[in-house]
Structure 1
Amino acid sequence: MELELRHLKTIRTIADAGSLTRAATTLGLAQPALSAQLRRIERALGGALFERGRYGVRATALGELVLERTRVVLPAVAELQREASRFARARQEPERLRLGGTHGPLLGALLERLTDMAPGAAVTTSASWSERELAAQLTDGRLDFALSGTCGSATPPGPEQLVWREIAVDPVLVMLADDHPLAGADEIDLAALADQEWACVPGDGCFADCFTAACARAGFSPRRMYETDTASCVHLVRVGRTVGLCRASFPATPGISLRPVTGTPLVWRHLLGWHATAQRPDLAEQVLDQARSAHAGLIGPEQRVP
């Protein structure tokens, strides 16, 4: 009889169970059948693997040698199977892609590219203003990939099992009505807006604190900040009720001028996230490449932060 992988698994099960009776139950065999199989294995290996006693079985010296080899061989074979499975899946088009993202045009631009990349896949989207909610959906397996971001160099949300890769870094711009006195400036000093009220979309990261700190460095405290949806933010800016804050990837909007802030005191890091054990590395790299291309298509080189 030639030794097979299933024989090594049987030996490992007997050793872990500590008795033939318990091992037979685990393996779904009758005890006499397991005893007969063990005898055949022992003949193939040249000696007894276990000493049978009143309270169970104990490995012999030969048994310990074989068990030591199983601790190497069985995990190696299992990893080979996993790698082969990942390789096989890598050559297939994904059946579905569940994509999440915060507000902004990048989600739509990436969706367009993913449907071109994998035309047979069912691509679905989910939007949330909360970076933490998107991280939770990745952690729970409700999303495959998420577009999120952080202010400056802040730590991305979620547990360490999540992988976050940088797509690009945008300067945060000021949104002004076209008839605002500063709308024609090449760039705007933050202190020149000290008497203004502000509007931006919500988030649960540190952006609000970073903005307040930037204003403090410029010598003032913001009078009021309205957190609202994108359409309302645009309306408040267009009618002159507020000035706004947006990323450089914000689309051109009639009646609105976007201007950089002197010294670029605020930046936004666009990130793509996924669960480390749930995604094929090759697919994750493809989606990341598409996200970077999508972002590059939204803004000009002069608007990017090196």
Structure 2
Amino acid sequence: MRAIADAGSLTKAATALGLAQPALSTQLKRIERVLGGALFERGRHGVRATPLGELVLERARIVLPAVSDLQRDAVRFARGAAGAEGPRFRLGGTHGPLLGALVDRLAARHPCAAVTTHTSWSEREIAAAVTEGRLDYALIGTCGSSTPPEGDRLAWREIATDPVFVMLPTGHRLASRDRVDLADLAGAAWADVPGDGCFADCFHAACARAGFTPARVYETDTASCVHLVQVGRAVGLCRATFPDTAGLVTRPLAGDPLVWRHLIGWHPDTPAALTAPSVLAQARAAHAEAAARSRSYAAWRASGLP
């Protein structure tokens, strides 16, 4: 019915639905018999809904989304319940330092559990997979206090909040500083991992406040970001817990103009909610370990300065 009303013509609606026009007419007549009256009036300019048709269309606008939600929730719950016979941790994460550490901790504490991973640069993709029941947990980050994706469907908890650091090659003129002013990097090319949140906009806004526009930004995977920094092609943006790596140093930006929140999310109506407190605790422990291993992070924390 909605297709017919939107198209204004049985022929156009049939084409849009991939049906033959007689088949669509037969379906419409069957519905009209069930509902007890004509739903559309036919005229020279196509079809239009009758008063009964308007009533049915109005109710359908309410009922059909609810039916779709019910079907999606049922599929998600069935997928979640399929693992009820034993522990299962299906983790989705963006490119960052915590996913591997969380896998290690869960595998050590649940040696008989199935622990699987899926990575993507897209926070929205990972959150949608949890909503649809294809993943149990989403391990992502958001810029500052921005709202995570699927915020009305998933339960999100904060693991930690960190400043964003800059990666410099060891021979860079600013590598010896404890903190780096963003304005001192005005002429640099930049390397960063892509995402579909607001981080890119926030970075450009921070640069504008520092009085410049980035000359070039390479959005690529983590390994390529590291390489571009090591060879002096770019300076990089990274989480504060980024591990010490040969050929580069990480330094906090003066004033901490960019902030990154590590989050973990799950659907509250699936079995994953039962193990969520333990998984959250392991994620926080993984972050604490990563922070302790980073000399730059420890120095930033000890300074107590913004």
Into which bin does the TM-score normalised by the smaller protein fall? Answer: 0.5 to 0.7
Q: Deviations over 1:261-288 (max 9, x none)?
A: 0000001000001011113544100000
Question: Structure 2: which 5+ residue stretches go unaligned?
Answer: 1-80, 293-297
Q: TM-score, normalised by structure 2?
A: 0.68
**DSSP 3-state at the match of 1:165:** strand
Structure 2 partner of 1:100: 92
Structure 2 partner of 1:119: 111
**DSSP 3-state at the match of 1:220:** coil
What's the offset of the Cα at 1:146? 1.2
The AA in structure 2 aligned to 1:222 is P
Larger Rg: 1
Aligned residue runs from structure 1 range 15-164, under 5 A: 94-164=86-156
The 4+ residue runs of structure 1 with deviation greater than 6 A are none
**Residue 227 of structure 1 pairs with residue 219 of structure 2:** yes
Q: Deviations over 1:121-161 (max 9, x none)?
A: 11111111110000110011000011011000000011512
Structure 1 partner of 2:278: 286
Aligned residue runs from structure 1 range 225-304, under 5 A: 225-279=217-271, 281-300=273-292, 301-303=298-300
Identity %: 64
**DSSP 3-state at the match of 1:97:** strand
Alpha-carbon RMSD: 1.9
Q: Distance in 2 between matches of 1:120 and 1:139?
A: 26
Aligned pair in 2 of structure 1 residues 105, 207: CA closer, same or farther (>3 Å)? Answer: same
**DSSP 3-state at the match of 1:167:** strand
The AA in structure 1 aligned to 2:112 is G
Q: Deviations over 1:72-105 (max 9, x none)?
A: xxxxxxxxxxxxxxxxx9xx98432111111122
Q: Distance in 2 between matches of 1:147 and 1:254?
A: 27
Q: TM-score, normalised by structure 1?
A: 0.68
For the 8 Å contact 2:144–2:261, the answer to whether it is kept is: yes
Q: Distance in 1 between matches of 2:263 and 2:250?
A: 23
Q: Distance in 1 between matches of 2:227 and 2:86?
A: 40
For the 8 Å contact 1:105–1:249, the answer to whether it is kept is: yes
Question: Structure 1: which 5+ residue stretches go unaligned?
Answer: 1-88
For the 8 Å contact 2:101–2:286, the answer to whether it is kept is: yes
For the 8 Å contact 1:151–1:267, the answer to whether it is kept is: yes
Aligned length: 216
Aligned pair in 2 of structure 1 residues 280, 126: CA closer, same or farther (>3 Å)? Answer: closer
**DSSP 3-state at the match of 1:134:** helix
